Amino acid sequence: MARKIVITGGKGGVGKTAVCANLGIALAHRSRRVLLMDLDMGLNNLDVVMRVEDKVVFDLVDVVENRCRPSQAFIRDDAEPTLCVMPSCHLAKRQVTAEQIKRVVSRLEDNFDYVLIDCPAGIDGGFRRAVACADEAIVVVTPHLSSVRDADKTVGELVGDIPVSVVVNRVRGDLVASGEMLSVFEVFSLLGQNALGVLPESDDVNCNLRNDRYPAFDMLAANLETGKCDIFDCVTPYKGVFGRFRRKLKRNA
């Protein structure tokens, strides 16, 4: 039976979809069977991030309304054969209930080890629909006070219902080392939930094993599987004499 995990964060722009996609790739590279589900019915773009938008024939709404079988809506990743994407509706915002999606997931969960659910921003109806289909939650947050505040509200909506873990995304080690950005430990402390992983800032937006953030995603996948909390070190390279030189180079880049 699959682990059903919703990836949320409250605030838009924290990288929920990129985390969902890259974590799915990292898990599939470990030979896990992974389904990525896009439950953002308004601003869906998981298929774009995964670069399969031109392969979409059927979507989640087609499955819910019995126009196709669930397997017909899967788009299998070319590089990772154990990774599938189920896109959201592309034509219009449709009314789909949590119960309808839960029935779809229940038909699929025996065929996968993980179902990763890409949650829409906010904590309104779309958020509640996505959370209702999950047994666990990953809250994605960036090391900025506005993001931490929104993540804290999201955690408040989740605690008591399902287990919650936190991933700090887009960490710039140079800014943390110079005291201009919250450290990941401050973020974890403010949110008070299980620390799952840390991901560095990167200009590489591609989802593949050559992504310069892949080692951090591989560590995140390992933490998810083992229950450990190994923290990817974004800061040490920017400490000391050579670190100060790297910080200057980073600022001037």
Digit-coded pLDDT (tens) for 46-104: 999 999 999 999 999 999 999 999 999 999 999 999 999 999 876 555 678 999 999 99
Q: Does position 154 have pLDDT exceeding 60, yes or no?
A: yes
Confidence class for position 222, pLDDT limits 50, 70, 90: very high
* Cα→Cα distances 9→2, 14, 164, 166, 168, Å: 22, 7, 11, 9, 10
Write out the two tokens for 48. Answer: 């774009």
| Class level of CATH domain 3-252 | alpha beta
Q: What is the pLDDT of residue 242?
A: 61
Of all residues in the chain, the percent with pLDDT exceeding 90 is 71
Quick one: how far is CA 20 from the chain centroid? 3
Over residues 17-34, the mean pLDDT reads 96
Q: Does position 199 have pLDDT exceeding 70, yes or no?
A: yes
What's the number of CA atoms in the CB half-sphere (13 Å) around residue 161? 15
For the chain, give the number of residues: 253
**Model confidence, pTM:** 0.93
Q: Which of 110, 104, 109, 130 is nearest to 44 (CA)?
A: 130
